[in-house]
Amino acid sequence: MYKGALAKPDQATAVELSRARELPPEMREELLQSADEGYPEGYESLLKNYFKALSESER
């Protein structure tokens, strides 16, 4: 069902995911659908550059 970071959530993430079950069904469905839509145009390269700069600053 889940991919990536949510494949094996840590304890804090697991708690937040369990709280998501308390959302109204319409809101929960909207959130799940939006997760499949991906990033807005240009946002993916922005994230890539951010994490690249972040990793280089830790060297």
Alpha-carbon dihedral sign for residues 16, 34, 21, 4: negative
Q: Which residue has the higher pLDDT, 13 or 28?
A: 28
Q: Is the pLDDT of residue 45 over 50?
A: yes
Distance CA 55, CA 17 (A): 28
35 pLDDT more than 50: yes
Mean pLDDT over 11-35 rounds to 79
pLDDT of 49 higher than 90: yes
